[in-house]
């Protein structure tokens, strides 16, 4: 059966202002000057697995196609190797734009339920916030519980190997001054909710 797909995008699918919003994130400003050369896609070791190449993502963001971008698997496949950022002739920080997109997809819940990559980011930040440090083995266990219990079965050998080699840590690493850190992180949220006049640029 031949599948017929529409390749033209409709004006109605744009979420106006989305591109500008991304370009206002610190580090993401240069997207405006993208020349669509495709160097990012050419250097990317993951682009062959992506639904949209990095170059396409850049074009879609700038043209405000928010939903298509946030639902693309491309943003999650970015492994932060910074090849694109190093090579972009317009000095666009493609990796950081990918972070800005992941952040919005997570905040808006625009990812498939039980999809491990955003769950890992969320659990990671939770552990940092409560303990100040990451205990990798405990983080992975939480990921399995939230994302895919069956995966535990597939990973049992690796778990045993880690125990055998003395790398399976079961006690949380934590910092002493957790309150200090929490206060610091909370001050960011307070500042965003209620910026004092002297903080405004």
Query: Closest approach of Cβ 37 to other proteins, in Å?
Result: 18
User: 22, 58, 83, 97: which one contacts other proteins (CB under 8 A)?
Assistant: 83
User: 23, 134, 141, 152: which one contacts other proteins (CB under 8 A)?
Assistant: 134
- Quick check: 46 binds other proteins (CB under 8 A)? yes
Cβ 142 vs Cβ 123: under 8 Å:
yes
Q: Which of these ranges, 5-13, 23-31, 32-40, 55-63, lies near other proteins under the rule CB under 8 A?
A: 23-31
Query: Closest approach of Cβ 78 to other proteins, in Å?
Result: 9
Tokens of 173: 């690493």
- Quick check: 152 binds other proteins (CB under 8 A)? no
**Closest CB to other proteins among 13 and 89?**
89
User: 62, 132, 141, 142: which one contacts other proteins (CB under 8 A)?
Assistant: 132
- Quick check: 22 binds other proteins (CB under 8 A)? no
What is the Cβ-side half-sphere exposure of residue 61, based on CA atoms within 13 angstroms? Answer: 33
Would you give the distance in Å from CA 44 to the centre of its chain? 16
Q: Which of these ranges, 1-9, 14-22, 34-42, 134-142, lies near other proteins under the rule CB under 8 A?
A: 134-142
Q: Which residues bind other proteins (CB under 8 A)?
A: 25-27, 45-46, 49, 76-77, 79-83, 85-86, 96, 99-100, 102-103, 106, 116-118, 120-122, 124-125, 128, 132-137, 140, 143, 147, 157-158, 161-162, 165-167, 169, 173, 175-177, 180-181, 183-185, 187-189, 191-192, 199, 201
């Amino acid at each position: 059966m031949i599948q017929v797909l529409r390749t033209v995008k409709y004006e109605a699918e744009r979420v106006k202002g989305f591109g500008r919003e991304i370009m206002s994130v610190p580090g993401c400003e240069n997207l405006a000057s993208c020349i669509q050369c495709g160097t990012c896609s050419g250097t990317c070791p993951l682009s062959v697995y992506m639904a949209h190449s990095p170059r396409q993502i850049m074009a879609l963001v700038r043209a405000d196609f928010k939903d298509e971008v946030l639902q693309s698997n491309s943003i999650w496949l970015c492994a932060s190797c910074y090849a694109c950022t190093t090579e972009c002739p317009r000095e666009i920080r493609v990796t950081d734009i990918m972070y800005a997109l992941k952040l919005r997809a997570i905040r808006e819940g625009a990812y498939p339920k039980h999809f491990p990559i955003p769950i890992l980011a969320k659990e990671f930040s939770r552990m940092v916030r409560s303990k100040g440090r990451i205990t990798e083995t405990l983080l992975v266990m939480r990921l399995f519980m939230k994302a895919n219990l069956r995966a535990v079965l597939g990973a049992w050998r690796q778990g045993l190997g880690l125990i055998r080699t003395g790398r399976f840590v079961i006690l949380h690493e934590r910092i002493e001054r957790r309150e200090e850190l929490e206060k610091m992180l909370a001050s960011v949220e307070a500042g965003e909710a209620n910026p004092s006049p002297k903080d405004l640029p």
